[in-house]
């Protein structure tokens, strides 16, 4: 006995059952002209189906259950929305079902019409605890099917990421420069400090920086001061100067800094400490006013990374990760991996959304080119898929694999995955 209607929805949708000599439970001939449109909302499971029963062609809805008695269990007999069901498709027709007016609803039973392999493959995918459900079968899936699946994944990935950009775009009252500025700030926080960076950017509008564009120390003091990291008693000259400048600016602009507790330092490498990222962000602000306009003018995907290299970061950070704590000299520039992270998680979604919003396909294609020119990510998800013979030649591949794992494999959403469907249909 099946335990889920999902597989029956799939089998009905793609007609994965014997169509020979179809009959309703009361013996009338049956021909499926159209399975209908799968309805994922309230109401019958498939709409606008066309079914020929006996000499009559019917147009309407199809409802699917494991047992026909589930109709009553789900209280459909009390809902007139189900009176236009023209066919009840079930695994087991254990009882006749009537409409609210007392007329019989034709029923099609499938339990003797579905190949055992389909049910077995489905149960194997749904019931195992492998890293991905199809771990033992996926190596047999052809490359064309895998690529089709990943092509869909990258589109879904970009649509998902552009949702955040869209929300920030609306919040900024449809200002592209401000949208990019806040989105970019989030990327400097990576996952762990994305939110405080976002709040910082919203509390430090670009127009405020523009008033001090030739005063590097004032911009740095605004960034660190509004981050809430200048409220201590310092010993080093640099943080003391930042604090002194910020006290004046804070009073002048009536500013309210973030709580210092907003920033997460634990479980973070020193080169990713918020202090280091804030210093790099301040340097980017110093060097690049109206950065989004410059980005739109770039037409070679390789040139985007140069925007984030050789930033004028204050030399204090060459020997510090924290204020007043000197360490061995190290690089203060954003590393290549971090730059790639900014490209993947900031520039690509923003260009994708910008192109979609303005109906300018050149920017959508530019987003894809950046992914194709960016090195593949190297994380546990990517390593896991590579062990299963998936290719990961660039960031386009790795972003697709991350989306596949997160939204399909981890959720065992195999019936909506091209690879899962291929395995399910393999006898």
Closest CA to 150 of 391, 365, 383: 391
Whether the predicted pLDDT of 427 surpasses 60: no
Task: Classify 377 in phi/psi space as left (phi over 0), alpha (psi -120 to 50) or beta.
Answer: beta
C-alpha to C-alpha distance for 44 and 71, rounded to whole angstroms: 11
- The pLDDT assigned to 1 comes to 60
C-alpha to C-alpha distance for 110 and 64, rounded to whole angstroms: 11
- The pLDDT assigned to 251 comes to 93
Rounded to two decimals, the pTM is: 0.83
Residues 223-233 have a mean pLDDT of 97
- The pLDDT assigned to 287 comes to 86
C-alpha to C-alpha distance for 164 and 291, rounded to whole angstroms: 19
- The pLDDT assigned to 127 comes to 86
C-alpha to C-alpha distance for 191 and 125, rounded to whole angstroms: 31
C-alpha to C-alpha distance for 284 and 307, rounded to whole angstroms: 9
CA dihedral angle for residue 138, residue 143, residue 147, residue 149, rounded to 10 degrees: -30
Domain ranges of the chain: 6-114, 172-373
For the stretch 405-420, pLDDT in tens is 999 999 999 989 999 9
Residues 235-245 have a mean pLDDT of 97
pLDDT higher for 424 or 85?
Answer: 85
Give the model's confidence band at 229: pLDDT under 50 very low, under 70 low, under 90 confident, else very high. Answer: very high
> Does residue 345 contact residue 161 with C-beta atoms inside 8 Å?
yes
For the stretch 263-311, pLDDT in tens is 999 988 999 999 999 999 999 999 887 788 889 999 887 789 888 988 9
> Does residue 36 contact residue 59 with C-beta atoms inside 8 Å?
no
Across the chain, mean pLDDT equals 93
- The pLDDT assigned to 143 comes to 94
CA distances from 61 to 25, 218, 239 (A): 18, 67, 70
What residues contact 173, with CB distance under 8 A and at least 6 apart?
none
C-alpha to C-alpha distance for 425 and 98, rounded to whole angstroms: 34
Whether the predicted pLDDT of 2 surpasses 90: no
Phi, psi angles (nearest 5°) of residue 100: -65, -20
Residues 149-161 have a mean pLDDT of 97
If you search the block for the tokens 């869209």, which residue do you land on?
166
- The pLDDT assigned to 397 comes to 98
């Amino acid at each position: 006995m099946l335990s889920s209607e999902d597989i029956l929805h799939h089998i009905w949708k793609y007609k994965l059952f014997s169509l020979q000599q179809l009959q309703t439970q009361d013996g009338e001939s049956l021909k499926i002209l159209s399975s209908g449109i799968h309805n994922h909302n309230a109401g019958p499971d498939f709409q606008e189906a066309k079914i020929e029963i006996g000499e009559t062609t019917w147009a309407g809805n199809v409802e699917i259950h494991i047992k026909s008695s589930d109709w009553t269990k789900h209280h459909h007999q009390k809902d007139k929305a189900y009176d236009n069901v023209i066919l009840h498709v079930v695994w087991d027709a254990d009882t006749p079902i009537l409409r609210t007016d007392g007329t019989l609803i034709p029923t099609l039973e499938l339990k003797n019409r579905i190949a055992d392999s389909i049910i077995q493959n489905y149960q194997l995918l749904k019931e195992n605890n492998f890293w991905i459900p199809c771990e033992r079968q996926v190596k047999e899936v052809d490359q064309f099917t895998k690529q089709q699946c990943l092509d869909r994944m990258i589109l879904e990935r970009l649509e998902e990421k552009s949702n955040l950009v869209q929300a920030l775009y609306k919040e900024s009252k449809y200002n592209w420069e401000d949208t990019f500025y806040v989105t970019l700030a989030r990327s400097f926080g990576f996952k762990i400090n994305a939110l405080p960076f976002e709040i910082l950017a919203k509390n430090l509008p670009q127009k405020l920086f523009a008033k001090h564009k030739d005063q590097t120390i004032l911009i740095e003091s605004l960034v660190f001061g509004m981050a809430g990291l200048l409220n201590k008693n310092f010993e080093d000259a640099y943080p003391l100067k930042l604090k002194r400048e910020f006290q004046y600016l804070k009073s002048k602009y009536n500013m309210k800094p973030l709580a210092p507790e907003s920033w997460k330092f634990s479980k973070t490498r020193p080169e990713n400490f918020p202090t280091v990222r804030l210093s790099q962000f301040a340097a980017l602000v110093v060097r690049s006013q109206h950065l989004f306009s410059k980005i739109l003018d770039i037409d070679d995907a390789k040139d985007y990374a140069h925007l984030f290299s050789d930033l004028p970061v204050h030399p204090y950070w060459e020997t510090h990760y924290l204020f007043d704590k000197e360490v061995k000299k190290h690089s203060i520039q954003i590393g290549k991996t971090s730059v790639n992270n900014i490209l993947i998680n900031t520039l690509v979604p923003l260009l994708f959304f910008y192109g979609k919003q303005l109906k300018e396909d050149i920017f959508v294609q530019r987003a894809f080119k950046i992914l194709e020119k960016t090195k593949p990510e190297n994380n546990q998800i990517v390593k896991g898929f590579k062990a299963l013979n998936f290719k990961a030649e660039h960031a386009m591949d790795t972003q697709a694999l991350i989306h596949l794992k997160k939204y399909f494999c981890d959720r065992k959403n195999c019936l909506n995955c091209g690879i899962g469907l291929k395995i399910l249909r393999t006898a």
